[in-house]
Structure 1
Amino acid sequence: MKEQATRPANLPINPHFSSGPCAKRPGWSLSSLSDALVGRSHRSKGGKAKLQEVIELSREVLGIPSDYRIGIVPGSDTGAIEMALWSMLGARGVDVLAWESFGKEWVTDITKQLKLDDVKVYEAPYGKLPDLAQVDPARDIVFTWNGTTSGVRIPNGDWISETREGLTFCDATSAVFAMDVPWKLLDVTTWSWQKVLGGEGAHGMIVLSPRAVERLTSYKAPRPLPKIFRLAKGTELIEGIFSGETINTPSMLAVEDALDGLRWAKSIGGLSGLIARSQENLKAISEWQATSDWADFLATDPATRSSTSICLVIKDAEVVQWDSKKQASFVKSMTGLVEDAGAGFDIASYRDAPLGLRIWGGATVETKDIQCLLEWLDYAFTTTKSKLQA
């Protein structure tokens, strides 16, 4: 007799588990943006003050050193990391680490678009990290801190030399505000508003160490740079980018939303409070997975499991024997059931990642909602499998 699943009685209060744009903070509503400076120039005194406040609050919440520059730039995290790569790479050899989709995009940019000669690529399959000991501190290093599409994170910065000669370029978009990022080991760090604090898309953030600023003002990249990529003019840093004067026009609604998220972060204890909330979400899924007979983590090493983009694969012996088309149909049906019930939206794995589930566990997600979602996943798995066996 086929196993019959019991439909859960409750739904998550907030069923939004997308890995970007991510869930809004608890209690958020459109009224939270009532103070947005709409209909005004972002270059007005009030507009620049709002943008500068985003910079100052980001520094305060994240504990960014006072001598590091923080800028707001176009194009979300992608724009921020691209402008850094195009502006600064080429001064010395480059080591690139990749173990998921976005890291591989930076490999493509560096090797196919920038066409740098001295590049070493260290890759690992989804679920694992490359050997971090391979990197050379005499060379520039490009990497993601957290693999948003693989659920694999770097556990610490012990592998980065404090006396490095090269610069470290870190795409930290799904790590900052949820993980302890060692700023003194990072020279260029980027992220986007729509990740851990659940802001709206538009602009990205870029943080430069004094060593990165020195590179920008002393090295002229041997390639044309469009206006939106320019962080320096000649031998001078474009200071306005780091004091509330963005390169192009930001949405002041998105700016207000970023401020709302940062103020909320302060209200729950700052970075330590944010990290604790995300870790509780990972703990809830870890405890559930430990007793699950069908779900496993994509990240094979517990020390590298992300607490934000939590990626799961199906380990059920029967399902893993099916062909890829049937497996894809199964996951689509399973996630569709959860979505139709209003229990969880956008939980399928990233399109380039191994087939499975991806649950956002960042600080804006309530653990009780995660726990409720897990009940629905068990129900959806059993129900969907039963239908396919019929």
Structure 2
Amino acid sequence: MTAQPTLRPERPFFSSGPTCKPPGWSPDKLDIKSLGRSHRSKYAKGRLKYAIDLTRELLGVPDDYLVGIMPGSDTGALECAMWTMLGARPATIAAWESFGNVWIQDAVKQLKLPDLQVLDADYGEIPDLSQIPQENDVVFTWNGTTSGAKIPNTDWLAHDRTGITINDATSAVFAMEMDWAKLDATTFSWQKVLGGEAQHGMLILSPKAVERIESYNPSWPLPKLFRLKKGDKLNVSIFEGATINTPSMLATEDYIFALEWVKSIGGRQAMFDRADANAKIVKDWIEATPWLRNMVPDPAKQTNTGVCMVFQGDWIESLSAEDQAVVPKKIASKLEEMDIGYDFNGYRDAPPGLRIWCGGSLESEDISRLLPWIEWAYEELKAGNR
């Protein structure tokens, strides 16, 4: 039997969204001067603009791209891009996990795009992206939040492609470098890699995306939350802090805290390095643990954020499918009750397994301390089922 570990994670937060707050976070460190005021006041609007400008700086967004705050988290930002830009030409939706499949449903059932190519793959795999015509608009997820599978590169996107490229990057930004020259609409939420509060998303538009929005009027009605135009022109005020609807200034200040922390540690490269180091700890442990395997078999496609793993071996395979599915739930539940680790069970629609968030807001030592506890809980569960 594996002995019960003695060292506990100091911050047992391993959720893949909302993710762990940056080190040193506490609510009393947030600027609250904008609370209780109009979001259109000079001070509040200035804070929204500061969040936009700091996002641009830290992500290295090109000067001629626009950065805006959107309602509805990454979902709202991504669906806004789809609903305002798709339908002008043939489109491809590429998906390999839960959220990408939602975008497929949008395209098929809501927008009913007539000339649509759907490329999908099982959890842990990525479809052959070279099949996508360069003249097609394309929607894809840079990093599969619920499968742990990321795109290994952007070689499949031509620099001179005529279609619009819409990128759901919510669990990739601040962990992986974005190839901005090939991206026209990029979205993410504050709650993912930075550990911010939920409900707000970011929409980053290239000049090509702006041209599409201004030159194209979709045939379907647009909800107010998706309306980016004023007359026939893009409403640029949205990208200067005048949000479409009322934002949470408390959530905004929380996001600013995270951005300033990223800047203080060295910017996005420091975040990349932290995520890489954290993920290596988990991946090396999976490789050394005979009863686990990475959900993504190809190392080039394995994420450095939400690392997903499934169980294998004689004992787990001796159980019924129903009992196998319960094993990761019981391990995660047991360690949560002990305040060892929170929210690291696999996503509800994914194959049964565990998912440990490794983004840059986590400390490597906390991840290292969690893993022996998982081994202990597994052995306890196995012994109780003999």
TM-based fold match above 0.5: yes
Please give the residue correspondences for 1:168-207 in structure 2 after superposition, counting only pairs within 5 Å.
168-207=165-204
CA distance in structure 2 between the partners assigned to 1:214 and 1:135 by the alignment: 22
The counterpart of 2:91, out of the listed 91, 94, 97, is: 94
2:209 matched residue in structure 1: 212
2:314 aligned counterpart, secondary structure: coil
CA distance in structure 2 between the partners assigned to 1:114 and 1:40 by the alignment: 38
Question: 1:36·1:252 contact (CA, 8 Å) conserved in 2?
Answer: no
* Alignment-mate amino acid for residue 38 of structure 2: S
CA distance in structure 1 between the partners assigned to 2:337 and 2:204 by the alignment: 41
1:113 matched residue in structure 2: 110
1:152 aligns with 2:168: no
How many angstroms does 1:289 deviate by?
1.5
Q: Which runs of 5+ in 1 are unaligned?
A: none
How many angstroms does 1:321 deviate by?
3.4
CA distance in structure 1 between the partners assigned to 2:348 and 2:185 by the alignment: 28
* Alignment-mate amino acid for residue 252 of structure 2: V
CA distance in structure 2 between the partners assigned to 1:255 and 1:317 by the alignment: 49
1:357 matched residue in structure 2: 354
2:381 aligned counterpart, secondary structure: helix
Q: Show CA shifts across 1:308-339 (max 9, x none).
A: 11101001222023212111222222111211
Q: Show CA shifts across 1:31-58 (max 9, x none).
A: 1214451011110000110000011000
1:230 matched residue in structure 2: 227
2:69 matched residue in structure 1: 72
1:125 aligns with 2:122: yes
* Alignment-mate amino acid for residue 272 of structure 1: Q
2:343 aligned counterpart, secondary structure: coil
1:292 aligns with 2:289: yes
1:271 aligns with 2:264: no
* Alignment-mate amino acid for residue 2 of structure 2: A
Q: Which runs of 5+ in 2 are unaligned?
A: none
Question: 1:144·1:171 contact (CA, 8 Å) conserved in 2?
Answer: yes
The counterpart of 1:33, out of the listed 30, 34, 48, is: 30
1:204 aligned counterpart, secondary structure: strand
Aligned length: 386
Normalising by structure 2, we get a TM-score of: 0.99
CA distance in structure 1 between the partners assigned to 2:352 and 2:157 by the alignment: 32
The counterpart of 1:344, out of the listed 321, 341, 346, is: 341
1:318 aligned counterpart, secondary structure: helix
Normalising by structure 1, we get a TM-score of: 0.98
The counterpart of 1:379, out of the listed 370, 376, 381, is: 376
* Alignment-mate amino acid for residue 368 of structure 2: Q
CA distance in structure 1 between the partners assigned to 2:128 and 2:72 by the alignment: 31
How many angstroms does 1:287 deviate by?
1.6
* Alignment-mate amino acid for residue 16 of structure 2: S
How many angstroms does 1:130 deviate by?
0.4
RMSD: 0.9
CA distance in structure 1 between the partners assigned to 2:33 and 2:22 by the alignment: 18
TM superposition outliers: structure 1 runs of 4+ over 6 Å? none
CA distance in structure 1 between the partners assigned to 2:348 and 2:239 by the alignment: 35
Q: Show CA shifts across 1:56-90 (max 9, x none).
A: 00000000000000010100000000111111100
* Alignment-mate amino acid for residue 41 of structure 1: S
CA distance in structure 1 between the partners assigned to 2:123 and 2:107 by the alignment: 21
1:293 aligned counterpart, secondary structure: coil
The counterpart of 2:80, out of the listed 83, 106, 113, is: 83
